[in-house]
Structure formats: structure tokens, C-alpha cells
């Protein structure tokens, strides 16, 4: 199977890039399943039902969350209506789930959403959560396992890779909005510390530059806003899986000015 992952869709500019390009990318790259992270999709914070419908209509199959999952109050009632996940290591009793299993090309694909510890809300240990769920998936015979690790610290994402390389198909990081140049395949597990945002590329992590700069200069808080006009980018990781093993992977960067770049993941020998 061939799956793709799009991280941190930032507001209207990010949604616009998906409307304009995802259908074409699905066809050109023969994608069987598309996962995306929704936590910044509605004006930069959370997700509304209207925007969820819009995103699924672009060709997304399921979406993961993060620390901004709960920013829109409507989200609590949306898990029964949409194919949405939230970080699985929130305490028991929280609405939704962070683990779902899908039938793709006659095989099963597990999608697991985790939230890191550093600079994040109070959640259960993501490493113990991952260990428990991965072991249970293996007992069930499920080999294709994709993890969205939503974390501030690169060390947490990398540690997860060191723990589970060879046991899962892919671990891709989200949250920082800045893409990293470390896409690799090691022991048949694809890994990238952060896929990077889909949205405005000429501001500060997809937000208007004025408030972040003012905060750095003065220390005073301010509300981040998604620009109405900006230069845009869509960033997507594509992974080809065979019996749970990632045999090929590459990253696509699509710009709103017509440029498109593909970078192959390196394979550890």
C-alpha cells in the first residue's frame, strides 16, 4: 500500500493548498490512503465541523490531532461524525481515541496519534502508551502501523524512533511547523522529526509575523492570526509499505507558484 501524511494544516491558506493540489497528488502518486493533522486547521487553532467537511472533501481519509485538538468546543461531538483521532495518551474518559485501524488494499493499517511531554498539556507517558498499543497490535497480527508523534522536543520524537524502529512502518513528527531534513528509512521504519506545515511559508510558523516578533521584543502576550494573503506551501510524506515494512519513501513540497520538489528518504545500510 502507498500512504501519505500531511502535517499541521494552518488555517485557510493550508486548506486552500489541499483543495488545489491533493486530488492531483493522489492520482499522480497513486496514493491509497491519506492522513493529515488537523489541529491548526480552523484559523490556526483547532477544527470546526465546517472545516472538517471541507478537508475530507479534498481527499483526506483520516486526521490526527495535537495540543490544539480541544481549542474549538465543537470537537467533543465530532469524533462520532468524522474520521478524527486525538492524542491517544490523554487520560481515560476523554472523548475520542488516538488509535484507529483501517482496511487499505486488503490489509489493515493502524494509525496512532501521540502527544509528547515537554511544553505540552498534562497527558500520560507517550512511550509507555506506544509500547502497550504496538505490542497489542502485533498480537492481533497488524503489521502496518503509522505514528504521528506530536511533540515540541525533537529528542522525544527521535527516542520513539530508537525504541520502535523495525516494529512499526513509520513515525512522523508534527507540531513545530518547521520541516526537518532527516527523512530516512532504518530497519524498514520511515522516520522524520517534523513534516512541516501546510499553509503560509513566508511568516512565523504559518502565523502573521507581527505578534510573534512583538512577543520576542517585549515579552507581552498577543493573539496569533493566520494571514489572509501569503505565499503558501503543501508538504507531504509518501511511504510505500509492504507487509508492515517501509520499502520506499519521499517528501513532496508543492508551492503555490507552481514549483514542486521531491526528496527521497535515505536508507540506512
3-state secondary structure the chain: CEEEEECCECHHHHHHHHHHHHHHHHHHCCCCEEEEECCCCCCCCCCCHHHHHHHHHCCCCEEECCCCCCCCHHHHHCCCCCCECCCCCCCCCCCCCCEEEEEECCEEEEEEEEECCCCCCCCCCHHHHHHHHHHHHHHCCCCEEEEEEECCCHHHHHHHHHHHECCECEEEEECCCCCCCCCEEECCEEEECCCCCEEECCCECCECCHHHHHHHHHCCCCCCCCCCCCCEEEEEEEEEEECCEEEEEEEEEEECCCCEEEEECEECC
pTM of the full predicted structure?
0.96
**Sequential pLDDT tens for the chain (269 residues):** 999 999 999 999 999 999 999 999 999 999 999 999 999 999 999 999 999 999 999 999 999 999 999 999 999 999 999 999 999 999 999 999 999 999 999 999 999 999 999 999 999 999 999 999 999 999 999 999 999 999 999 999 999 999 999 999 999 999 999 999 999 999 999 999 999 999 999 999 999 999 999 999 999 988 899 998 999 999 999 999 999 999 999 999 999 999 999 999 999 98
Residue from 21, 68, 150, 175 carrying the catalytic annotation: 68
Question: What domains, with CATH codes, occur in the chain?
Answer: 2-267 (3.60.21.10)
Known catalytic membership, residue 150: no
Amino acid at each position: 500500500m502507498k500512504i501519505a501524511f500531511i502535517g499541521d494544516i494552518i488555517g485557510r491558506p493550508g486548506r486552500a493548498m489541499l483543495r488545489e493540489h491533493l486530488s492531483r497528488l493522489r492520482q499522480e502518486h497513486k496514493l491509497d490512503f491519506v492522513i493529515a493533522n488537523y489541529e491548526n486547521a480552523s484559523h490556526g487553532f483547532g477544527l470546526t465541523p465546517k472545516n472538517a467537511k471541507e478537508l475530507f472533501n479534498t481527499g483526506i481519509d483520516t486526521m490526527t490531532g495535537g495540543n490544539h485538538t480541544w481549542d474549538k468546543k465543537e470537537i467533543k461531538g465530532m469524533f462520532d461524525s468524522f474520521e478524527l483521532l486525538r492524542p491517544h495518551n490523554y487520560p481515560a474518559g476523554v472523548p475520542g481515541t488516538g488509535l484507529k485501524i483501517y482496511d487499505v488494499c486488503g490489509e489493515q493499517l493502524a494509525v496512532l496519534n501521540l502527544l509528547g511531554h515537554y511544553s505540552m498539556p498534562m497527558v500520560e507517558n507517550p512511550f509507555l502508551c506506544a509500547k502497550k498499543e504496538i505490542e497489542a497490535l502485533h498480537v492481533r497480527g497488524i503489521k502496518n502501523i503509522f505514528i504521528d508523534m506530536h511533540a515540541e522536543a525533537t529528542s522525544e520524537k527521535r527516542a520513539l524512533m530508537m525504541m520502535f524502529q523495525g516494529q512499526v512502518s513509520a513515525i512522523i513528527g508534527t507540531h513545530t511547523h518547521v520541516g526537518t531534513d532527516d527523512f530516512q528509512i532504518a530497519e524498514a521504519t520511515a522516520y522524520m522529526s517534523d513534516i512541516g506545515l501546510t499553509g503560509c511559508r513566508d511568516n512565523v510558523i504559518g502565523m502573521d509575523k507581527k505578534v510573534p516578533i512583538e512577543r520576542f521584543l517585549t515579552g507581552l502576550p498577543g493573539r496569533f492570526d493566520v494571514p489572509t494573503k501569503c505565499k503558501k506551501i503543501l508538504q507531504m510524506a509518501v511511504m510505500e509499505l509492504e507487509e508492515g515494512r517501509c520499502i520506499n519513501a519521499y517528501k513532496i513540497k508543492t508551492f503555490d507558484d507552481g514549483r514542486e520538489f521531491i526528496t527521497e528518504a535515505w536508507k540506512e545500510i
